[in-house]
């Protein structure tokens, strides 16, 4: 593997490590994602259904990472309270909220019918 590519992966894994060790919400998202992925396997989802669930899980993780990077950049630029900085952080947090709601909807649409069949 070329050195530049290896260094890129190293930086990416450093970012993942930072998220896992410092961001409580990221850990919560990962735990829920693992539980939902395992449940999806146990329920025997189709390939398309499983792909939707995995996409929803990773969407939440990606948006959480983007939210954190925006917050960190703003914290670097603004040491004092700033209305525009607050708005950027709030909107970034709202994006994470919407990604989570999307994942919940996908999970319900895919998993609830399978659970109903299982418990009948």
Cα dihedral 43, 46, 48, 51 in deg (nearest 10): 40
Q: What is the pLDDT of residues 12-65, one digit of tens each?
A: 999 999 999 999 999 999 999 999 999 999 999 999 999 999 999 999 999 999
Q: Indicate whether this model's pTM tops 0.85.
A: yes
In angstroms, rounded to a whole number, what is the distance separating the alpha carbons of residues 98 and 112? 20
In angstroms, rounded to a whole number, what is the distance separating the alpha carbons of residues 84 and 115? 45
Architecture of domain 27-118: Orthogonal Bundle (1.10)
What is the pLDDT at residue 1?
67
What is the pLDDT at residue 86?
97
In angstroms, rounded to a whole number, what is the distance separating the alpha carbons of residues 48 and 58? 15
**Burial grade of 46 (CB within 10 A; 0-12, 13-18, 19 or more):** exposed
In this prediction, residues 71-89 reach a mean pLDDT of 95
Task: Say whether pLDDT at 90 is over 80.
Answer: yes
Domain positions in the chain are: 27-118
């Amino acid at each position: 593997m070329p050195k530049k590519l290896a260094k890129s992966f190293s930086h990416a894994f450093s970012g993942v490590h930072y998220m896992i060790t410092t961001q409580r919400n990221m850990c919560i998202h990962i735990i829920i994602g693992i539980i939902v992925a395992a449940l999806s396997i146990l329920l025997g989802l189709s390939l398309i259904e499983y792909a939707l669930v995995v996409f929803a899980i990773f969407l939440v993780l990606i948006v959480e990472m983007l939210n954190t990077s925006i917050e960190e950049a703003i914290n670097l630029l603004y040491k004092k309270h700033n209305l525009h900085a607050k708005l950027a952080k709030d909107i970034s947090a709202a994006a994470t909220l919407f990604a989570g709601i999307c994942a919940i909807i996908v999970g319900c649409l895919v998993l609830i019918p399978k659970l109903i069949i299982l418990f009948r």
